[in-house]
Amino acid sequence: MKLDQLFSINGKTAVVTGGSRGIGEMITAGFLANGVKVYITARKAGPLIDKAKELSDQYGQECIAIPSDLSSHGGIVDFADELKTRESSVDFLINNAGAAWAEPLDTFSEEGWDRVMDLNVKSVFFVTQQLLPLLRVNADNDDPSRIINVGSIDGINTPVFETYPYGPSKAAVHHLTRVLSAKLVKEDIIVNAIAPGPFPSNMLGPAVGHDYSGIAKANPRSRVGTPEDIAGLTIFLCSRAGAFTVGETITCDGGLVARSGHDLSGG
C-alpha cells in the first residue's frame, strides 16, 4: 500500500506516438521523470530528434526518437520493425498520435476526412497490432502490459469547431478501446482510454489564437489542463494502482462532460 509500490513505473519501457509535443510530450515527460525509458515517434524527424534530446537531458532518462508516418500502414510497419531491432519487449503503448481538420460542412474535403480517420483510428489499431509481440513478452497476471488510447471529450460531447471527422474518430477510439480490452485482457494486456479536455497544444492553440483564457474561464475548474493532470492519470493506469481498471474511457477535462450532462438535464 506504499505509494512507491502502488504507483511505481520505474524500469519500464514505453512507446508514445505523437510524443514530441502537446499531450504526448506531457505523458512522455511524466514517464521519464519516473524512470521509464521512452520511445517517441512523429512524422517530422528534425523536431522529433531535438525533442528527444531535450527531454533526455532534462530528466536524465533515455528518450529515443524514431521518426515515422503512422498515417499509412507501411509507415506503421516500418516503425514497428525499427523498434523491434532496438527492444525485445515493451511494457506500455500510448496511442496518442492524432490530427484534426476544420472546414465548412458544405465544402469539407475527402482529403481532410481521410487524414483524420487514418491517423486517429486506423493507426491506433495497426500500431497496436504490430507491437503486440513486444507487449506480450513481459505481460503476466501480476504485472500486465498496458495500452492507453488517447481519445477526446469531443468523442463524447458535440465539438464546438467544424472538425467533422474528429469527434466521430475519437468516439471510434473509445469503442475500439472496449473491443480491444475484451480481447487482450485474456493475455494480461490491459487497454484503457483517456478522453482529454482542453490542454495547451498545437492542435487546440491555433483555433483560439493560442489564448487559452476564454477556454479556462468556461471550464468548471477555471483552467486548462496541465502536464501533471494528464501524466498523473497515465501513470495511475500504467501502475499497480490501475491494474484492475479495464476497458474504461476516463475523462480528464476539468468537469466539462459532467457539466454537459447537467446542462442537458435542465439543471
**Catalytic center residues:** 166
For 211: left if phi > 0, alpha if psi spans -120 to 50, otherwise beta; the answer is beta
Grid cell locating 98: 492524432
Q: At what angle do helices 45-59 and 22-33 cross, to 10 degrees?
A: 30
Determine the Cα–Cα distance for residues 137 and 92; give it in Å rounded to an integer: 12
Tell me the three state secondary structure of residue 242.
helix
- The cell numbers describing 215, all together, are 477556454
Contact criterion met (CB below 8 Å) for 132 and 158: no
Amino acid at 65: A
